[in-house]
Structure 1
């Protein structure tokens, strides 16, 4: 720090006068000490810190990795995923020295939970134990507000507790029963499209009137799910859903806002949900990441953290990756060649598709992913525009 101070003022006062004045005021430094410090080569730690800091800045600025919200713990795991071998304390020290830190969630200002005192509420089947042994055993739901220039917007989420995957969401300019009901319909459609059954699923929510409505309860009964509602005015009974809302506010709304219309909020939410389900690290499942649509992630399995059984379990939760050698041959998968369009229509056993959609793949394409293209839309669980964007952009909707 003293050497830098002398560098800043030596052109005006000279080195010797500055050292003399500093020594008179209790900061003893000789001109020879200054020149020796300037001639000294950087230490190995200084060189290493400069290289690590370049990696930290690159990861934090990457919208698919740090997204500008990662703290030192997630930054350390992100660097390890990229092959940068560095101690966690070093990452914390460098981020502290350069004033970089993860974002901190704020407080809620708008009350969205408005209970209906006349409606009957199911019992709390969760008891603040937000764990599940397999997918589709426990879903937690909640919705929140987003201020825009054109008014207040509301977003509802449906999250699978086992994999921390957002399986359904909906954005609307009001918060009627249709808001969480559309998110639930999307979650059921996504799981049904993948061939999953939700019989016996526990659906946990707060005591808001939207979740105690008759239509909402009837839809849960039709799907074979069990309703579970926490107590009134106690956020701890739905703490995990509140955590998802807090992450949404911190990592999407505050980062990408302010927003003008509900369409801008919907697009930003779509991009955040895709990153949340495919690229974000989740500490609850061993800092594992899910597969993405990039070719490097499709053609190779995700790396498992050494000496971590939780991460091995989470890898099964996050994608069920299968090697190309374990896939059935093309003839066994079925399909027919269309001479007119040059595409091959594929039918995969165990994978269902909604009415009016077709799955095609170009014969020259080497990617194992199929492209789903809606042909005619009759009635989706959400608007056709949002559903088409979701099917094209989000690989998490395929599992």
Structure 2
């Protein structure tokens, strides 16, 4: 009876270890040893070696072995990946992290970075689905769609895009309006308000953009058909600064994809991970994200993984050389 109980206990132990170490059985000896090393505080080395058909003597020799060049490189890469990931506020995924490693002179493929990230549980913040926020139920004139989804620009102040989003706080809603220059993807103008009046949203944002970036001949401003962009107060600012207006087609978010993309990034990378106690705390966080991170440190795939600040400097230097 005692022998039966011991045999039953060994079978249960074998099942338990095998379940946890199943994936390691399908890999090389080093993976088995790494599994044993990681679980030494839970199970005895001898039992795990027995279940996983490994030699305890070989395991102990492996434990004190010198690190191979490949293992050392992987270890160093993981440390660099973790550093880039943390510096981005845990925002960057494998494409941007790979681009940053290339800038540091680290020749590594995106697929290898992705595998290391998956293995070590390094994940980027995930974006949520798009929601319609435009109020286009008004009688104002609708401008022609001049942009036609051409989001390219080879000089500053050729094309600007604008949009609005809602930010929830425990003390009520905040409304964020932005103006983005398509040449460097910089947020050149923005406004935060607790109401939806044009004066405190679209007008404030476009005036800030004009002050910060300046206007050049032929500048196009593109937006959705929202009332804050169609109203006379906003159009007056455009006329005063000789800015041509363009609007998306009805209920078509892809016509203003760059502006929409910024809000998705803002919410996925910051807003959805915060609980704002009031509007003031939200304003401080949003200011820090736009001016302290997005405009200056966040890389963009559309810019060849440069930051808006780096692209702005390159375009300004290009203008000087052409003058």
**TM-score range for the pair, normalised by the shorter chain length:** 0.7 to 0.9
**Does 2:58 align with 1:33?**
yes
Select which of 249, 268, 280 maps to 2:285. Answer: 268
| Counterpart residue number, 1:58 | 83
- Seen in structure 2, the aligned counterparts of structure 1 residues 120 and 45 have a Cα distance that, compared at 3 Å, is same
Unaligned runs of 5+ in 1: 292-301, 303-312, 327-399
| Counterpart residue number, 1:3 | 33
Q: TM-score, normalised by structure 1?
A: 0.66
CA distance in 1, matches of 2:97, 2:129: 25
Alignment of 1:73-92 (within 5 A): 73-92=95-114
CA distance in 1, matches of 2:194, 2:42: 62
Structure with the bigger percentage of helix: 2
| Counterpart residue number, 1:127 | 148
Alignment of 1:1-399 (within 5 A): 1-4=31-34, 6-7=36-37, 15-20=45-50, 22=51, 27-62=52-87, 66-109=88-131, 111-178=132-199, 179-192=201-214, 197-255=215-273, 257-274=274-291, 275-289=293-307, 316-317=314-315, 319-320=316-317
Unaligned runs of 5+ in 2: 1-30
* RMSD over aligned Cα atoms: 2.7
- Check conservation: 1:199, 1:223, Cα contact below 8 A: no
- Seen in structure 2, the aligned counterparts of structure 1 residues 186 and 13 have a Cα distance that, compared at 3 Å, is closer
Secondary structure of the 1:29 match is: coil
CA distance in 1, matches of 2:117, 2:307: 23
Which digits, 9 at most, give the CA deviation of each residue in 1:275-296, with x for residues without a partner? 21222211112112355xxxxx
Please report how far the alpha carbon of residue 148 of structure 1 lies from its aligned counterpart in structure 2 after TM superposition. 0.6
- Check conservation: 2:157, 2:216, Cα contact below 8 A: yes
- Seen in structure 2, the aligned counterparts of structure 1 residues 88 and 7 have a Cα distance that, compared at 3 Å, is closer
CA distance in 2, matches of 1:231, 1:146: 25
Which digits, 9 at most, give the CA deviation of each residue in 1:127-153, with x for residues without a partner? 111122321111100010111111111
CA distance in 1, matches of 2:41, 2:85: 37
Which digits, 9 at most, give the CA deviation of each residue in 1:289-345, with x for residues without a partner? 355xxxxxxxxxx7xxxxxxxxxx87622x5399xxx9xxxxxxxxxxxxxxxxxxx
- Check conservation: 1:200, 1:225, Cα contact below 8 A: yes
Which digits, 9 at most, give the CA deviation of each residue in 1:171-225, with x for residues without a partner? 1112221211100110111124xxxx33321111101111111111111111101
- Check conservation: 1:148, 1:262, Cα contact below 8 A: yes
CA distance in 1, matches of 2:318, 2:312: 12
- Check conservation: 1:288, 1:315, Cα contact below 8 A: no
Secondary structure of the 2:260 match is: helix
Higher relative contact order (CA 8 A, sep 6+): 2
CA distance in 2, matches of 1:13, 1:73: 39
Once structures 1 and 2 are overlaid, which stretch shifts more, 35-44 or 198-207?
Answer: 35-44
Please report how far the alpha carbon of residue 34 of structure 1 lies from its aligned counterpart in structure 2 after TM superposition. 2.8
Please report how far the alpha carbon of residue 11 of structure 1 lies from its aligned counterpart in structure 2 after TM superposition. 7.7
CA distance in 1, matches of 2:235, 2:61: 78
Secondary structure of the 1:91 match is: helix
- Seen in structure 2, the aligned counterparts of structure 1 residues 14 and 239 have a Cα distance that, compared at 3 Å, is closer
Secondary structure of the 2:141 match is: coil
Secondary structure of the 1:288 match is: coil
| Count of residue correspondences | 289
Please report how far the alpha carbon of residue 267 of structure 1 lies from its aligned counterpart in structure 2 after TM superposition. 1.6
- Check conservation: 1:204, 1:227, Cα contact below 8 A: yes
- Check conservation: 1:198, 1:223, Cα contact below 8 A: no
Q: TM-score, normalised by structure 2?
A: 0.80
CA distance in 2, matches of 1:185, 1:58: 38
Secondary structure of the 1:204 match is: strand
Secondary structure of the 1:154 match is: strand
Which digits, 9 at most, give the CA deviation of each residue in 1:234-264, with x for residues without a partner? 1111111111111121223234x21122222
